[in-house]
Amino acid sequence: MKKILILLAVLLAGTYVKAQTLEEATGAYSKGEFGKAVEIYEKLLETKGESAELYYNIGNCYYRLNKTAPAILNYERALLLNPGDKDTRTNLEIARLKVIDRIEPVGDFFLIEWLQSIQNLLSTNAWSYLGIICFLFLIGCLVLFFFSRKIILKKCGFYVGIVIIVLCISANIFAHNQKKKLNNRNTAIVFAPTVTIKSTPDNSGTDLFVLHEGVKVVIKSKLGNWNEIEIADGNIGWIKSEDIVII
């Protein structure tokens, strides 16, 4: 019994310390001490683990410090964990206005864009929970269809069941895609103030184009200290690992 009480006391003390630290970070931010707030939030990340809220707060601090690349990086990380958060997405778009490069993205097929926008409404866990709920409703519809004696209930069970099946499959696909994004992080933010993209993974390669800090890139492959990247307009080249930070 003593061991249990001691364990509970330690857990409660740890929770109090975390809450107190979060309060300190909020206080520092409200006072305009953004650098101090970043330090506290990043310590919380180390002890508490990844959190969309913490990444969002860190992004806000860096934006206030006029550090565009770190701000964008943390907003992007927050959206990976909580893609449906409108505040994070809005702040990310505002931060991107400070990026020097204006890259016109290659447009996707409208149906893909539409499905992507739906997928980004919820996080991995939210889609998973929705899939479970839909499955339970599906069982209810099957019970109505097979065991109900009234024709109208059988019809309701059948047609509603079809809709539920579509929702259940979609929720599971979206959850899988979101989970894949979290596990296979192949996007990065350019942190170098100015960097020349090469045609080959070598300093002697031909200069293709120049990027500035804050640009988001997709990593296609890696060779030694070099990464083959693709930007939103479809251009591809090589950049050193030290010039980018993985989202």
Instruction: With CA atoms as reference, report the closest residue to 195 among 150, 241, 247, 234.
Output: 241
Give the model's confidence band at 67: pLDDT under 50 very low, under 70 low, under 90 confident, else very high: very high
pLDDT of residue 182: 86
pLDDT of residue 110: 76
Percent of the chain with pLDDT over 70: 91
Residues 6+ apart with CB under 8 A from 90: none
Give the model's confidence band at 1: pLDDT under 50 very low, under 70 low, under 90 confident, else very high: low
Give the model's confidence band at 17: pLDDT under 50 very low, under 70 low, under 90 confident, else very high: very low
Q: What is the pLDDT of residues 71-105, one digit of tens each?
A: 999 999 999 999 989 999 999 999 999 999 999 88
According to DSSP, the residues that pair with 246 across neighbouring strands are 188
pLDDT of residue 13: 45
pTM to 2 decimal places = 0.82
2-16, 61-75, 108-122: range with lowest mean pLDDT: 2-16
Give the model's confidence band at 12: pLDDT under 50 very low, under 70 low, under 90 confident, else very high: very low
For 76, counting Cβ atoms within 10 Å of its Cβ (0-12 exposed, 13-18 middle, 19+ buried), the class is: buried
Q: What is the largest CA-CA distance in the chain?
A: 79
Residues 6+ apart with CB under 8 A from 48: 18, 54
| Phi, psi angles (nearest 5°) of residue 121 | -70, -30
11: pLDDT strictly greater than 60: no
Q: What is the mean pLDDT of the chain?
A: 89
Q: Does residue 146 sit in helix, strand or coil?
A: helix
Q: What is the pLDDT of residues 177-197, one digit of tens each?
A: 999 888 888 999 999 999 999
211: pLDDT strictly greater than 80: yes
39-53, 76-90, 110-124: range with lowest mean pLDDT: 110-124
CA torsion sign for 201, 203, 206, 208 is positive
176: pLDDT strictly greater than 60: yes
217: pLDDT strictly greater than 70: yes
* Single-letter amino acid, residue 50: E
